[in-house]
A = this chain, B = another copy of it.
Amino acid sequence: MTHPKKAIVLSSGGLDSTTVLAMAKNQGYLLYSLSFDYGQRHIAELSAAKKVAAIMGVTRHLVTRIDLGPMGGSALTDAIPVPKFRDSGQLSATIPVTYVPARNTIFLSYALAWAETLGAWDIFIGVNAVDYSGYPDCRPEFINAFETMANLSTKAAVEGAGRFQIHTPLIHLSKARIIQEGLALGVDYSITHSCYDPSPDGLACGGCDSCLLRKKGFHDAKTPDPTLYQKNVRSSSEP
């Protein structure tokens, strides 16, 4: 009997990355989940990621503290207000201020380092090019270029022991489809966290890009939204 293959899964505790964890688990991988504490305002993410890791039975959940402070310029790490679209319900049309420079590049670089250390060749990331909020580093062109670079940068790959693969199982799925796939695999979305701007007790704001995408996903998937929103915001999936 061969040993199960190891996979590194980038986990934010959100809807997308939790679905990816379930997919990798369903493919028989031994799971190693990786979260980043980068001074983000939504520390509720890290708490959700920890819960998700426990429920998914990951072999190891690693939280790495990284300092993106000086690389700022983003509403996720700086004091810029997160934009709200509660009145119009519209998503931002251009690359939003919640963009963090080179964030997925840094995240995937750490995943690559950990993969090489563990002897894993498979890295999963829940990027999505459909409902992707305009982030350039969520597109297939970026992922392909990262994979090429990864296989030229590491001892393990250069010595011919294997080939790193960046898996993006959600990249062409709508949010509704992601939710349907996750539910089919038994994901409990009530423990996941997507909001960019939660209340101090961790309730979702219901008005940021991420909340709007999530609400629309449950609505389009014709399934109840288990998210606890702050009470002044009505969920679009409510009757």
| Chain A residues in the interface with B (C-beta under 8 A) | 62, 64-68, 70-73, 95, 99-106, 109-110, 112-114, 116-117, 136-137, 139, 141-142, 145-146, 148-150, 152-155, 157-159
Given contacts A139-B152, A154-B137, contact A101 B73 (CB under 8 A): no
Central interface residue in A106, A149, A152, A154, by most chain B CB within 10 Å: A149
- The interface residues of chain B lying within 8 Å CB-to-CB of A159 are 95
A102–chain B nearest beta-carbon distance, Å: 4
B64, B101, B148: the one within 8 Å of A116 (CB) = B101
Complex contact B112–A101 (CB within 8 A): yes
Q: Is the CB of B146 within 8 A of A149?
A: yes
Known: A101-B116, A102-B150, A142-B149. 16 other contacts (CB 8 A): A64-B67, A68-B113, A71-B116, A100-B113, A101-B114, A102-B109, A102-B116, A104-B153, A105-B113, A106-B106, A106-B109, A136-B154, A136-B155, A142-B152, A145-B153, A146-B149
The CA of A82 and the CA of B102, in the complex, are separated in Å by 33
CB-nearest residue of chain B relative to A146? Answer: B149
Copies of this protein in the complex: 2
Q: Which residue of B lies closest to A100 (CB)?
A: B113
> With A101-B116, A102-B113 in contact, is A145–B137 under 8 Å at CB?
no
A68 neighbours in B (Cβ, 8 Å): 113
| Chain B nearest CB, measured from A149 CB (Å) | 4
- Report B-chain residues with C-beta under 8 Å of the C-beta of A158: 95, 136
Min Cβ gap A183→B in Å is 32
Write 8 A-B pairs (CB below 8 A) sorted by A numbering.
A95-B158, A100-B113, A101-B116, A102-B112, A105-B109, A105-B150, A106-B109, A137-B152
Q: How far is the CB of A116 from chain B (nearest CB, A)?
A: 4
| Residues from chain B with Cβ under 8 Å of A110 in the complex | 71, 102, 106
Q: In whole angstroms, what is the CA distance A212 to B112 when docked?
A: 30
* Chain B nearest Cβ from A119, distance in angstroms: 10
- Please, which residues of chain B bring their CB within 8 A of the CB of A101? 112-114, 116-117, 154-155
